[in-house]
A and B are shown apart, each in its own frame.
Chain A
């Protein structure tokens, strides 16, 4: 592993972003902060796709896949925020631990 940027640098950045995103999903109480963690995870996957496309496959298939992932992330943010609003109207809070009405 050298100083100049190569495949390993991008993979390690993506691994760090994935861990941060997973930590946000697991530890945050606020529903919208959990959504931000999901965005971090998707972005980590995007960095991996583009890095492998540039350094390993030399084809643009990874780029097309990233376009689809960005599209799905936008859709997911819209639908998940609608659900968060519905939760807020019902429970008057977006704190995840207070939403326990469906527990058995």
Chain B
């Protein structure tokens, strides 16, 4: 193997390991704050995997929206809903052993399905400029879902504000 090939494979396994290990800590970290920060590493690792799949636009979008938006939102949520005076943001678990049992069985089932389905693998497509293609598709074939998504965004904005706003109680 050439040196670039070795670097490619090693980079893939590096991103895969970062993704899976930090996802493990999202589930099992006692501290919710630590879980959020390891979720950040998971999202970065998934952005790296997108790069290995030649999805450059999606990798950038992943970092912008998830790390820049959703993660900050989750951090705000934790900081606003925990009493920081207690300084102990630990959280317990419920129904732990049955869930682990079911998850191991589910994962085994999924792996069985993955290896026993005849996928029509055609080799890597290696898209050159996915951004232009996605833009064209969004403006032609997927125009109606695109417009519906914008209306959905507006509705979610109004709904989120009206749910989270403090009620003026009469009392």
Interface on A for B, CB 8 Å cutoff? 1, 3-13, 15-24, 26-33, 35-37, 39-40, 43, 46-47, 50-51, 53-56, 58, 60-61, 63-64, 66-68, 70-75, 77-79, 81-86, 88-89, 94-97
Contacts and interface: CB of A to CB of B under 8 A. Distances in A.
Chain B at the A interface: mostly helix, strand, loop or mixed? helix
A68 to B, nearest CB: 6
Contacts of A60: 127, 130, 133-134, 137
Contacts of A95: 91
Interface centre among A7, A9, A29, A78 (most CB of B within 10 A): A78
A96 B76 CA distance: 19
B156 to A, nearest CB: 4
Contact of B153 (A10, A26, A75): A75
Interface centre among A21, A50, A61 (most CB of B within 10 A): A50
B91 A30 contact: yes
Nearest to B92: A29
Nearest to A7: B121
A85 B26 contact: no
Interface of B: 5, 8-9, 12, 16, 19-20, 23-24, 26-27, 32, 35-36, 39, 42-43, 46, 49-50, 52-55, 57-58, 61-62, 65-66, 69-70, 73-74, 76-78, 80-81, 91-96, 99-100, 102-103, 106-107, 110-111, 114-115, 119-127, 130, 133-134, 137-138, 142, 145, 149, 152-153, 156-157, 159-161, 163-164, 166
A10 B134 contact: no
A63 B91 contact: no
Given A27-B95, A95-B91, A70 B74 contact: no
Contacts of A12: 111, 114
B163 A32 contact: no
Contacts of A73: 65-66, 70
Contacts of B92: 29
B116 to A, nearest CB: 12
Given A55-B122, A70-B61, A81 B9 contact: no
A11 B114 contact: yes
Interface centre among A15, A46, A51, A63 (most CB of B within 10 A): A63
Nearest to A90: B167
Contacts of B149: 68, 71-72
A8 B94 CA distance: 33
A32 B125 contact: no
A70 B110 contact: no
